[in-house]
């Protein structure tokens, strides 16, 4: 495996480097630093330990993958981004769940279709998606009902703030109240 050396340079569009502990990809635009904290595993990695090739020997972390959680009303935007930007790079975004106005998309190699083959949505792809959304709609992430790069929230697409809503007696997006047994019996 090639690692960063003293002669490694970054082109104008940046260079992809990989964490040697978790294989997460990072895009850097220069090498005038001595160490970086990996965004995913949190390890402080020396510059010369970062890998230049995607490692195949590092096991995938035992956790759900970082996914795109986006406003369901704009799914066509995600599909177009996937087709125009990601497919030429050998990847696509696969819709894996939808609830209310929320949709979860996994970042997948083009030749894979199984949930277990999903990879973490790289930060550079997230950045490219944000630029794509701005170009298409002139909107920032806060202008959508949801627009996040986060660990797959699971079935029902429950976000951290949804649990606070439930504690306050409100219902999160995509949820509905189930009538209690007494109310149901009164209607029979």
Task: Output the average pLDDT for the chain.
Answer: 84
Using one digit for the tens of pLDDT, what is the confidence trace for 29-67?
999 999 998 877 778 999 999 999 877 776 666 678 899
Rounded to an integer, what distance in angstroms lies between the CA atom of residue 31 and that of residue 55?
Answer: 20
> How many CA atoms lie within 13 Å of 186's alpha carbon, on the beta-carbon side?
5
User: In the structure, what pLDDT confidence band is assigned to residue 175 with cuts at 50, 70 and 90?
Assistant: low
pTM for the whole thing?
Answer: 0.68
- The answer for residues whose C-beta is within 8 angstroms of residue 180's C-beta and 6 or more apart is none
Using one digit for the tens of pLDDT, what is the confidence trace for 109-148?
999 988 888 988 988 899 999 999 999 999 888 899 889 9
């Amino acid at each position: 495996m090639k690692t960063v050396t003293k002669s490694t340079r970054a082109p104008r569009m940046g260079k992809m480097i990989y964490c040697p502990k978790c294989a997460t990809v990072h895009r850097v635009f220069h090498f005038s630093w001595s160490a970086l904290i990996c965004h995913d595993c949190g390890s402080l990695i020396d510059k010369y330990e970062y890998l230049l090739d995607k490692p195949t020997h590092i096991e995938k972390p035992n956790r759900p993958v970082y996914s795109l959680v986006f406003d369901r009303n704009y799914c066509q935007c995600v599909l177009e981004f996937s087709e125009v930007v990601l497919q030429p790079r050998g990847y696509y975004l696969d819709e894996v769940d939808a609830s209310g106005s929320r949709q979860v998309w996994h970042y997948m190699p083009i030749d894979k279709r199984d949930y277990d083959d999903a990879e973490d949505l790289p930060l550079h792809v997230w950045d490219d998606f944000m630029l794509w959304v701005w170009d298409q709609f002139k909107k920032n992430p806060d202008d959508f009902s949801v627009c996040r790069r986060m660990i797959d929230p699971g079935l029902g697409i429950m976000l951290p703030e949804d649990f606070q809503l439930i504690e306050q007696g409100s219902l999160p997006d995509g949820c509905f109240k189930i009538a209690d047994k007494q109310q149901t019996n009164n209607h029979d």
